[in-house]
Amino acid sequence: MMEQRRDFDGENGTSRRTRAKGIAQSEPGVDRIRALPDSILIRILSLLPARDAARTLVIPSFGRLWTSIYDLDFDWFVYHDCSGNSSWHCCSYDEGALSRFAELVRRVLALHQGGRIRKFRLRFEFSIDRQLDELMPLELEPEELEIMIRNGGLAGEVNRWIEFAASRNVEVLDLDFLACGLSNVGYKYELPSFVLQSSFLTELKLVSCKVNLSADIVMRALKVLCLKEIALSDDSIKNFIDGCPVLESLTVLDCYGLCELNCGSQELRSVTVAPGILEESRVKVACPNIKSLSISGWIERLELESLSSLRDASIDFCDCFLCVPDEYCEVQKILEELHHVRVLTMHHHPILVLTVWELMNLPCPSNSWQRLILRTMLTKWHLPGIANVLRSSPSLEVLVIHIIPGEVPSIDAQEAWLQLYKICEGNYWDLQDRSFGCLANCLRIVRVSGDIMKDHVIQLVQFLLREALVLQKLVVSTGPNDSSISVKESKEFSDKLLSFPRGSPQAVVVFSNA
Amino acid sequence: MSSSPPPSSAAASPSCPKKMIALRSSDGETFEIEEAAALQSKTLENMIDEDCAGTPIPLPNVTGKILAKVVEFCSKHAEPGVDDESLRAWDAEFVNVEQATVFDYILAANFLEIPTLLNLTCNVVADMIRGKTPDEIRKFFNIKSIFSPEEEEEVRRENHWAFE
């Protein structure tokens, strides 16, 4: 018996695909909730969005326990449903949702009794359109306008909400003032300086707010910092790095004004950086002690240096794929800088670059990647790219391919490039005549998952089984996204898979329909 | 009295490789668990330190049926070389059980202080609650309302902000 679920989850909202929704209700008459100790119930309620936790106040078994939750998650997507809109369409100002959201936060904070808050999360669109409308007739000077906005109304309230969390020694602070709004528009909420001087914070995430760059930044306990759509300068990033001596993970996405990311700290282990579209100059990344680097966005602007300790890396692009080969010498440089990592993750745009190179007989830079993870669609436009990388990676031992749904590479109107190159139809792998070093010598494990019910997948797997002479294990699975695959389809696929000839006598083939 | 040995694995604890700890459930069944796996439980860790080795550790709050599964969980989580994705998939299967069993796991994980199992099972229950209206929650967990319809209406009205 399936329950109705109302999840107005936003772009990042994960509707947990738990098997629990299929679980039968417990036997009639047994209230198991009451049998659980309070501390457990509080733990369970703390896992819920604040509104859901608060609603349990009408259920006697929960009573007023919700007022003691230690994680407060306020996400306006429970009131603002834009899941039906395409990514192009920006939401118009949703005043109703904002006022219901603000009321929820006020009430929950007013009634909260727990002495300690571990995590505090706010996500809503801080749009000051309405405030602007009200203030316009006053004909204020820009500075006066900014002061009024900063102190009045909503901004003042948000300050008090954050103060509340800080007064309870909050450890994880996640503030997203963009939500589904248009980026880089007008006035932003200004974060009060005391946040950046907290000695309790271990994780801080800020999206689309103004940070007072002249104030001191001292967060002695901070391990994880994530900044998105924040206007920075080189000094400010340096201030963050200097002021957070135990920082382990740094993420900087679409932050205009970043030119250099220098950090020699032994503590910093991983960096994620995505130069934004407005970036004019190069962005230099020099962090000799980090183990893990993830780059995306306009990676053409990146300059990578001294990454000698790097062990794993991930590459993605932004959406605007222009098939001019010369532009991809930047990508070539980046792949050369990353040639020594052990684990490389590639998303589907970089694979398209490899396709272009393959069709022009340019090899992917030689490398010593041992584990390659591809997160990509699998269309005929991606196959030459995959062939290229397989041929250029003689040390490859593990290949993981996660297939995302999609039939055509580009969403935007860049289809012109698709016509420029002649990509053969039919089984691409049967036409491959050059040898693949890693397949003969190294490749031991292959995992394929995701949207696997496609000819391209079958053909690729057939090819790998035939050519990988030291293969130990091939696992093909449909998880984690639910797909509506019939038992019959599943069996047919599985039978085909198991029937393919294997170049490696000890290869084990596993098919899992999770 | 049945004795179910844990799945053999190469896990070696720092002190004594493959040292087995004996546990006795509330209904008298005995189970053996490798020390490395037992250390997942803070309760057991304390008891082992206190040198109760030799005689089976009595666990009066946990039945044999549940203890068997808890041993299985701890053993799996003590196995070396299991990648994150596989373990997550295994965990998901582990809690794909009847509601009553999930609650039994919670109580056992709480008593034995096994953080990984407690997190996993509490998340399952949270998932059962998330997005449901109070009526749906009550129905799902068989909770009787102590309010009369009028009283409940009153409570909702007072706290309308939670129900907007």
Q: Per-residue pLDDT tens for A382-434?
A: 999 999 999 999 999 999 999 988 777 665 545 666 677 777 777 888 877 77
Given an 8 Å threshold on Cβ–Cβ distance, is B142 in contact with A27? yes
Q: Give the pLDDT score at B94.
A: 95
| Structural contact between residues A206 and A251, judged by C-beta atoms closer than 8 angstroms | no
Query: Among candidates B59, B67, B110, B144, which has minimal Cα distance to A33?
Result: B144
* B101 or A154, greater pLDDT: B101
Helix (H, G, I), strand (E, B) or coil at A318: coil
Average pLDDT, chain A: 84
Structure-block tokens of residue A339 = 């040639």
Residues of B within 8 A of A30 (CB-CB) are 100, 142
Asked if B130 is an interface residue toward chain A (Cβ–Cβ < 8 A), one would say yes
**Closest among A478, A472, A505, A482 to A491, alpha carbons compared:** A478
- For A:259-298, CB contacts with B below 8 A are none
* pLDDT tops 50 at residue A3: no
Phi/psi of residue A234, each to 5°?
Answer: -60, -40
Mean per-residue pLDDT, A57-64: 89
Nearest CB to A33: which of B124, B126, B143? B143
Q: For A120-201, where are the alpha helices, taking DSSP H only?
A: 129-135, 142-151, 153-167
CB atoms B152 and A58 under 8 Å: yes
- Of A26, A44, A54, which is closest to B126 when you measure between CB atoms? A44
Distance (Å, rounded) from C-alpha B39 to C-alpha B41? 5
Contact A105, A61 (CB under 8 A): no
Of the candidate ranges A139-153, A449-463, B138-152, the one whose mean pLDDT is the lowest: A139-153
Chain-chain contact of B126 with A23 (C-beta, under 8 angstroms): no
| Closest alpha carbon to A419 in A490, A359, A335, A468 | A359
d(CA A203, CA A224): 5
Q: Is the pLDDT of residue A11 over 70?
A: no
Quote the tokens at residue A37: 């100790």
* Average pLDDT in chain B: 85
Mutate to test the interface with B, among A7, A21, A40, A71 (most CBs of B within 10 A): A40
pLDDT on residue A132: 64
Q: What is the per-residue pLDDT for A474?
A: 94
Contacting residues for A25 by C-beta, under 8 A, at least 6 apart: A1, B99, B139, B140, B141, B142
Distance from CA of A267 to the nearest CA of B (A): 23
Q: pLDDT-based confidence at A114, cuts 50/70/90?
A: confident
B127 has a chain A CB within 8 A of its CB: yes
3-state secondary structure A249-263: EEEEECCCCCCEEEC
- pLDDT 10s digits, A211-223: 988 889 999 999 9
Q: Is A422 exposed, middle or buried (0-12, 13-18, 19+ CB in 10 A)?
A: exposed
Please list, residue by residue across A490-499, b when 16 or more beta carbons sit within 10 angstroms of its beta carbon and e when fewer do.
beebbeebee
Chain B: closest CA distance from residue A100 (Å): 7
Chain B contact for A371, CB < 8 A? no
Strands A312-315 and A292-295: parallel
In this structure, of A62-66, A391-395, B54-58, the range with the lowest mean pLDDT score is B54-58
* From A27, A28, A40, residue closest to B110, measured CB to CB: A40
The pLDDT value recorded for residue A135 is 65
Contact A473, A507 (CB under 8 A): yes
| Residue A84 pLDDT level (bands cut at 50, 70, 90) | low
Placement of tokens 């608060």 in the chain: A54
Six-digit token string for B15: 């002190």
Pair A257, A277: CB distance under 8 Å: no
Hey, is the C-beta of A64 within 8 angstroms of any chain B C-beta?
Answer: no
What does the pLDDT look like over A254-308, one tens digit per residue?
888 888 888 888 899 999 999 887 767 788 899 999 999 999 988 888 889 888 8
Cβ of B142 within 8 Å of Cβ of A23? The answer is no
B131 and A6 in contact by Cβ < 8 A?
Answer: yes
Q: What is the pLDDT of residue B11?
A: 45
pTM of the model: 0.84
Pick A3's closest partner by Cβ from B97, B132, B155: B132
Closest residue by Cα to residue A41 from A26, A56, A27, A28: A56
The confidence score (pLDDT) of residue A14 equals 37
Identify whether the C-beta of residue A25 lies closer than 8 Å to the C-beta of residue B136: no
Cα A454–chain centre separation: 26
Q: Is the pLDDT of residue A102 over 80?
A: yes
Q: What share of chain A is helix, strand, coil (3-state, %, to 5)?
A: 35, 20, 50
Could you read off the pLDDT of A489-504 as tens digits, one per residue?
A: 888 888 999 999 999 9
Chain B residues inside the 8 Å CB shell of A24: 98-99
CA proximity to B23, closest of B51, B44, B50, B45: B44
* Residue numbers in B near A59 (CB within 8 A): 134, 137-138, 143, 145
Handedness of CA A8, A10, A11, A16 (dihedral sign): negative
SS3 B163: coil
A337-376 tens-digit pLDDT: 999 999 999 998 889 888 888 888 888 899 999 999 999 9
> Sorting pLDDT into bands at 50, 70 and 90, what band is B20?
confident
CA distance B123 to chain A (A): 7
Q: Which DSSP category does A25 fall into?
A: P
CB contact under 8 A, B98 and A57: no
Query: Could you tell me the two tokens for A401?
Result: 């391919």
pLDDT tens for each residue of A318-335: 765 565 666 688 888 899
| pLDDT of B15 strictly over 60 | no
Contacts of A450 in chain B (CB under 8 A): none
Whether A508 contacts chain B with CB within 8 A: no
Is the CB of residue B140 less than 8 Å away from at least one CB of chain A? yes
Q: Is A48 left (phi over 0), alpha (psi -120 to 50) or beta?
A: beta
pLDDT tier at A224 (50, 70, 90 boundaries)?
Answer: very high
Cβ contact A25–B110 (<8 Å) = no
Whole-number pLDDT of residue B62: 93
Say if residue B8's pLDDT is above 60.
no
- A residues 88-107 lying closer than 8 A (beta carbon) to B: 100, 103-104, 107
Instruction: Using the structure block, give the residue that is written with the tokens 């959406």.
Output: A319
Nearest CA-CA distance, residue B106 and chain A, Å: 8
Choose the weakest-confidence range: A119-128, A149-158, A434-443. Answer: A149-158
* B100 and chain A in contact, CB less than 8 A: yes
Contacts with B41 (C-beta within 8 Å, 6 or more apart), sequence order: B74, B112, B113, B114
Q: Compute the distance between CA of residue B122 and CA of residue A46 in angstroms, rounded to an integer.
A: 10
Residues B24, B57: contact at Cβ < 8 Å?
A: yes
Q: Using CA atoms, how far apart are residues A284 and A394, in angstroms rounded to an integer?
A: 30
3-class DSSP assignment, residue A174 = strand
The token pair that represents A439 in the structure block:
């397949």
> C-alpha angle with apex A295: A294 to A296, nearest 5 degrees?
130
Note if the bond before A505 is cis, omega within 30 degrees: no
Q: Is A83 on the interface with B (CB under 8 A)?
A: no
Q: Is the model's pLDDT at B78 over the cut of 50?
A: yes
Question: Is A28 within 8 Å of chain B by CB?
Answer: yes
Q: Fill in the amino acid letter for B12.
A: A
A44 → closest Cβ in B125, B131, B161: B125
Q: Which residues pair with A210 in a beta bridge?
A: A190
Contact status, residue A446 vs residue A470, Cβ threshold 8 Å: no
| A324 CB within 8 Å of a chain B CB | no
Put the strands of the sheet holding A302-305 in their side by side order: A260-262, A283-286, A302-305
Q: How far apart are CA A413 and CA A418, in angstroms?
A: 11
Q: Please, which residues 50-89 of chain B have a Cβ atom closer than 8 Å to chain A?
A: 89
Average pLDDT over residues A230-254: 90
Helix pair angle (B134-141, B115-129), 10° resolution:
120
Helices (H), A229-382: 234-243, 329-337, 348-359
Under 8 Å CB pairs connecting chains A and B tally to 143
* pLDDT number for residue A184: 64
- The reply to whether residue B143 touches residue A56, judged by beta carbons under 8 angstroms, is no
Q: Touching check for B49 and chain A: CB below 8 Å?
A: no
